[in-house]
Amino acid sequence: MAAPTKDTEVGVPPAAAGRFAAFTRRMPSSTLGKHALTLLVAFVVVVLVLELTGPFRNSQFATMAYYGIAAAGLTVLTGVNGQISLGHGALMAVGAYTTGLMLAAEIPLLVTMLGAMAVTAAVGAVVGVAAARLHGPYLAGATLALAVGLPGLAIYFDHWLGGEQGMRIPSPQMPAWFSDAIYFLSATEASSAKYLAYIGWVTLLVVLFLLANLMAGRTGRVWRAVRDDEVAAELAGIPLGKVRVLAFVVSAACAGIAGAVLGIVVRLAAPSGFTIVLSLGLLTAVVVGGLGSLVGALLGSALLVFLPPFVTNVGTDIGLDNTQAAQLAPFVYGAVLVLVMLLAPSGAVGVLKKLLKKLWIGRSTRRTG
């Protein structure tokens, strides 16, 4: 139709673009290469952080790992595919209880985690089929019912699932090679907190790697297309139902793995651990971090773990007693959520991206100008 109009609005000045091109030329060109390299770098960082911090921080990082896995799965469902879920806490419960039952039967840890993933994915498929027909508030309501109802099963089947008190989950034995490797690395004794933190973070990194692959490829594009305009997606030959159910299954699989990690870290699966508060916390983490971004999910879960104790400390420092200080945390958390939604709707990741872009341009213009 009209004569080709070239894009004149270039976001980055030529010098920076050139430097960026030179940088990307040195990166692997395949998706696998790029993501594997990122995975490797991230693993090195994780090892450094876990070796440089003590058992208390290690156990906080283990907690962050299972929140991160669940939040990453939720951001795929809600941010990328546009389906809200208030029931992910319940899906984590499925993973945790499955883990408890399988470990009690002395099934190896890796098989147990895969089993927890498979069982939760199957539950997710059932929920997903129902969810694919529901929209907005109806979907929120249905998944809310899941969050409220499912933990009740543990009380109903209290003979197997331990009822209100919950089910003890045997702690996995630390293998000899692990303590050897840790001694070799940092000449320290490997604590069980450290072992659990490593399990959590290696799992988290693998999950992020796989989700990043999906999001960079055809699957992610089609998820986003269905989110943005279902009629247009349908006319492009995309089966809406299948695509939505797939997103739910992938997301539930993540929640199941997260539940498995939670189970072995907390060593207990109890209904009180999987209330609606957990589901809402995950949703908050995903929104604060930046909806639809895996890095955002990670930032959000860091906030979920590190903000409350930080606020409590500040509270006691300024002279509040312990209960008052503890009450401060949820308040500050809510305030952060409201502020992010008002000031930075694209979440922490959106703010970071803007900052990085400014820095990048700033540096290169100073060089050339």
Window contacting another protein (CB under 8 A); options: 124-132, 217-225, 254-262, 326-334: 217-225
Which pair of tokens denotes residue 42?
């991230």
- Spatial neighbors of 241 by CB under 8 A, at least 6 apart, are 129, 132, 133
Kindly give, in sequence order, each residue whose CB lies less than 8 Å from that of residue 13, ignoring residues fewer than 6 positions away: 361, 364, 365, 368
CB of 36 to another protein, least distance (A): 8
234 lies in the binding site for another protein (CB under 8 A): yes
Nearer to another protein, 100 or 292 (CB): 292
Site for another protein in 5-64 (CB under 8 A): 5-7, 30-32, 35
Give Cβ neighbours of residue 256 (< 8 Å, ≥ 6 apart).
91, 92, 94, 95, 98, 116, 117, 118, 119, 120, 121, 124
Reported residue count of the chain is 369
Question: CA separation (Å) from 97 to 89, 156, 179, 272?
Answer: 12, 14, 28, 13
| Both tokens assigned to 233 | 């997606």
To another protein, the closest distance from the beta carbon of 9 in angstroms equals 8
Rounded CA separation 17/6 (Å): 17
267 binds another protein (CB under 8 A): no
Q: Which is nearer to another protein, 148 or 214 (CB)?
A: 214
232 binds another protein (CB under 8 A): yes
| 269 φ, ψ (degrees, to nearest 5) | -120, 115
> C-alpha angle 190/196/200, rounded to 5°?
135
Distance CA 140, CA 143 (A): 5
Question: How many residues in the shown chain lie near another protein by CB under 8 A?
Answer: 36
Nearer to another protein, 79 or 172 (CB): 79
Choice from 214, 336, 337, 351 touching another protein (CB under 8 A): 214
Q: Contact between 353 and another protein (CB under 8 A)? A: no
Stretch that binds another protein, among 43-51, 140-148, 176-184, 212-220 (CB under 8 A): 212-220
Q: Which of 21, 105, 237, 321 binds another protein (CB under 8 A)?
A: 237
Kindly tell me which of 231 and 343 has the beta carbon lying closer to another protein: 231
Residues contributing to the site for another protein (CB under 8 A): 1-7, 30-32, 35, 210, 213-214, 216-219, 221-222, 224-225, 227-229, 231-240, 246
